[in-house]
Amino acid sequence: MKCSFCGSDILEGTGMIFVFKTGKRHNFCSRKCEKNLLKLGRKPSKQKWTAAFRSEKKPDKAKKEAKKGK
């Protein structure tokens, strides 16, 4: 499972799930990701520490990091 904000892998038994009234679910790896998305309304592509930013701004580096993780 991946974090809805930063895109990092969430190990089984860790993290948080936020469920909206409509049934839509968001998975979070930490409180930092939860606050940034829900409370502060930030977009992942504008935060330098997220995978969305890395893949959008620096595609070569994101591909290398994805290969290391496998």
pLDDT tens sequence across 27-67? 999 999 999 999 999 998 888 888 888 888 776 655 666 66
* 3 state SS of 67: helix
Kindly report whether the global pTM for this prediction surpasses the value 0.75.
Answer: no
Largest Cα span, the chain: 39
Which CATH number is 32's domain given?
A: 2.30.170
Asked, for residue 44, whether it belongs to a domain, the answer is yes
Asked, for residue 60, whether it belongs to a domain, the answer is yes
pLDDT the model gives residue 52:
84
Asked, for residue 39, whether it belongs to a domain, the answer is yes
pLDDT the model gives residue 47:
87
Asked, for residue 55, whether it belongs to a domain, the answer is yes
Q: Predicted confidence band at 68 (pLDDT cuts at 50, 70, 90)?
A: low
What residues have CB less than 8 Å from 28, skipping those under 6 apart? 3, 4, 5, 10, 15, 16, 17, 18, 34, 37
pLDDT the model gives residue 57:
74
Asked, for residue 22, whether it belongs to a domain, the answer is yes
Number of domain units in the chain: 1
* Residue 60 domain boundaries: 16-69
